Amino acid sequence: MLQTPVPLPQPRKFGESNRQDAWWLQPIVVFLGLSAFIVYSTWAAFQGTDYLFTGGGADYLSPFYSPEIFGDSGHAIFGPKPEIWPAWLPFSPALLILWAPGGFRFTCYYYRGAYYKAFWADPSNCSVGEPKARSCYRGENSLPLILQNIHRYFLYIALGFIVLLAWDAWKAMWFEDASGVEHFGIGVGSIVLTINVFLLSGYTFGCHVLRHMVGGKFKTISDKPAHKKAYECVTCLNKRHMLFAWLSLFWVGFTDFYVRMCATGSWTDWRIF
Amino acid sequence: MGQVTFKIWRGEGDEGHFEEYQTEVSEGMVVLDAIHAIQSDDASDLAVRWNCKAGKCGSCSAEINGMPKLMCMTRLSSLDLDNPIIIEPMKAFPLMKDLVTDVSWNYEAKKSIKPFKPCKPDAPDGTWRMQQEDVERAQEFRKCIECYLCQNVCHVLRDHHDHAEYIGPAFLVKTAAFEMHPLDEENRTLDLKDEQGIGYCNITKCCTKVCPEHITITDNAIIPLKERVVDEFYDPLKKLFRIFKPK
């Protein structure tokens, strides 16, 4: 066991720092960005309607509702809401699935560092004093934060979501005519859903855990060419993990918003061809 | 560039205060040059540790305008000279005098890392062969100059004073250098979890931000080590596979 050197300087008070830059700006932006997303996605998830746009033969499914396990749209895997569903429990197809991508982001190494600063002030920013009341710090060494180590399991599910959302984006490129025949085409919604898949892939395939699994865990990698290539690719995305984390967060919210606006008739989905 | 005001921490142990000094600065000067000018002209008893003046010895670590930096690598032109420049000692270690802290805790902490344990030589002449691409990862960590700026900015040590539980980012880098070395065959994951408290790191990335050698401490050293600990202790599926894996 290590020893604590004494006497150590008194820790600074909450928010105390000699930094002369706007150190408070980053945690505030993160706080507002994440809060806005949480509020919007919770609201959207509880709506349970307007998540599918079929106008003009389109087939745009909101990513908040994909895969639709139970529901009223044609996308539902197991049909409508089960009859045994308690009447007092709110139902929405999104509530059945959003725990998975939500958990993936909540346990993500980038987001952890970001929201510990923005929501817990632990610390607010580098070399800035913390709230005095928090006398016993345990970090991620004990409950509840030790559960962050579950991140790899959320990754497995998130990889499956990428496949499903890619399928949705592909389906969004096929438009049904009056006779029921599908034709390939591109609408603004097709582009919105496709960008969503690319950004979510950039975020998911840059995951620190994936980087560890495909190559980081090995002592030598020169004798494993497939792992080496995968490790290099994941590392390349991992360097931009923060960028993809924010872009994909914004875009997945916007994709839902776009589909919702089209479904309610507030926006028109323009067909490019 | 003219006269610039410096607010420098003066004192010993628990006692201390900022004192203001003015000195003439010129193009190309670094903070350490200004400190030496003040020491020469106004405060001959000002204590400051320094050695190479080239950012390689890691001696002149301090906090400049609240951010941990090497004084010898911080150009005055990068600072706002219209306001006083605040220079104070590191906050995660006991203060000896003025800008000098006692960093000896780090030497003790370092001893808790299991040393490099090479595998059997793979060449008939009793030597080893390794590929550059295998050793590359560990080479990044060899750039560490042990300035302890990362230890200083780490809030686990700086604010929570958990020196007894957490070894700090500098020595997680050291451990990563061994763990990721292609010839090393020691297992350090149990030590990382229990003795060296890797779980205390909550990934603020402040250590990466202040590293003067630009080592990507969090992403390349700490998180991969955390994942090795997860592999061994916190992944129930892996544990199950290990039980049923044929020996």
Per-residue pLDDT of chain B (247 residues; tens, 9 = 90+): 789 999 999 999 888 999 999 999 999 999 999 999 999 999 999 999 999 999 999 999 999 999 999 999 999 999 999 999 999 999 999 999 999 999 999 999 999 999 999 999 999 999 999 999 999 999 999 999 999 999 999 999 999 999 999 999 999 999 999 999 999 999 999 999 999 999 999 999 999 999 999 999 999 999 999 999 999 999 999 888 888 877 6
Residues B107 and B160 in one domain: yes
pLDDT in tens, B5-18: 999 999 998 889 99
Judged by CB atoms closer than 8 Å, whether chains meet at A3 and B164 is answered as yes
**What pLDDT is recorded for position A24?**
96
A245, A237 contact by CB (below 8 A): no
Shared-domain flag, residues B70 and B110: no
The domain spanning residue B161 has which CATH number?
1.10.1060.10
Amino acid present at B230: V
| pLDDT score for A134 | 62
Last residue of one domain, picked from the residues B100, B126, B161? B100
Q: Which residues of chain A have pLDDT under 70?
A: 1, 133-135
Inter-chain contact B153–A127, Cβ cutoff 8 Å? yes
> Is residue A22 less than 8 Å (CB to CB) from chain B?
no
Q: What's the total number of domains in chain B?
A: 2
Among residues B44, B65, B100, the one where a domain terminates is: B100
Using a CB-CB distance cutoff of 8 angstroms, which residues of chain B are in contact with residue A18? Answer: 63, 65-66, 86, 88
Which pLDDT belongs to residue A8?
86
- Report the chain A residue with the minimal C-alpha distance to residue B15: A9
Q: Please say which residue of B83, B100, B117 terminates a domain.
A: B100
Residue B62 and residue B122 share a domain:
no
Chain B residue numbers with beta carbons less than 8 Å from the beta carbon of A1 are: 164, 195
Sequential DSSP letters for B103-158: -HHHHHHHHTSPPP-B----STTS-----HHHHHHHHHHTT-----HHHHH-HHHH
**What is the reported pLDDT for A10?**
85
B99: chain A residues, CB-CB within 8 Å: none
Per-chain mean pLDDT for chain B: 95
Pick B95's closest partner by Cβ from A9, A17, A217: A9
CA-atom Rg of chain B in angstroms: 22
The token pair at B111 is 């001893």
Same-domain pairing of B135 and B46: no
DSSP assignment letter at A69: S
**Closest to B69 measured CA to CA, from A18, A118, A13, A5:** A18
Tell me: do B112 and B88 sit in the same domain. Answer: no
Tell me, what's the pLDDT at B13? Answer: 85
The model carries a pTM of 0.94
A195 touches chain B (CB under 8 A): no
Q: DSSP string covering B54-74, please?
A: SSSS---EEEETTEEEEGGG-
Residues of the domain holding B57: 2-100
Chain A within 8 Å of B110 (Cβ-Cβ)?
A: no
Residue B116 shares a structural domain with residue B225: yes
Nearest to B168 by CA among B231, B94, B105, B102: B105
Identify all chain A residues contacting B226, using CB atoms and an 8 Å cutoff: 149
Sort out which chain A residues have CB atoms less than 8 A from B186's CB and list them: none
Q: Domain for residue B247, yes or no?
A: no
Q: Which of the 8 DSSP states describes residue B198?
A: G
Interchain contact A157–B (C-beta under 8 A): no
Per-residue model confidence (pLDDT) at position A1: 56
**Other beta carbons less than 10 A from residue A77's beta carbon:** 10
The H or E element spanning position B208 is helix B206-210
Report yes or no: B108 at the A interface, CB cutoff 8 Å.
yes
Dihedral sign for Cα atoms in the order B114, B120, B123, B126: positive
- Indicate the residue type of A254: F
Residue B71: per-residue pLDDT: 98
Judge if B57 and B161 occupy the same domain: no
Smallest Cα distance from A87 to chain B, Å: 36
Spatial neighbors of A200 by CB under 8 A, at least 6 apart, are A63, A161, A162, A165, A248, A251, A252
Q: Using an 8 Å CB-CB cutoff, list chain A residues near B204.
A: 113, 116-117, 123, 126
Name B165's Cβ contacts closer than 8 Å, sequence gap at least 6. A2, A141, B197, B200
Contact assignment for A139 to B13 by CB distance below 8 Å:
no
Instruction: Give the per-residue pLDDT at B241.
Output: 87
B110 & B195 share domain? yes
The pLDDT of residue B184:
96
> Is-contact A271 A174, C-beta < 8 A?
no
Q: Which of A18, A150, A213, A244 to mutate to test the interface with B (most CBs of B within 10 A)?
A: A18
Exposed / middle / buried, residue A133 (Cβ in 10 Å: 0-12, 13-18, 19+): exposed
Quote the DSSP letter at residue A163.
H
Q: Is residue B43 part of a domain?
A: yes
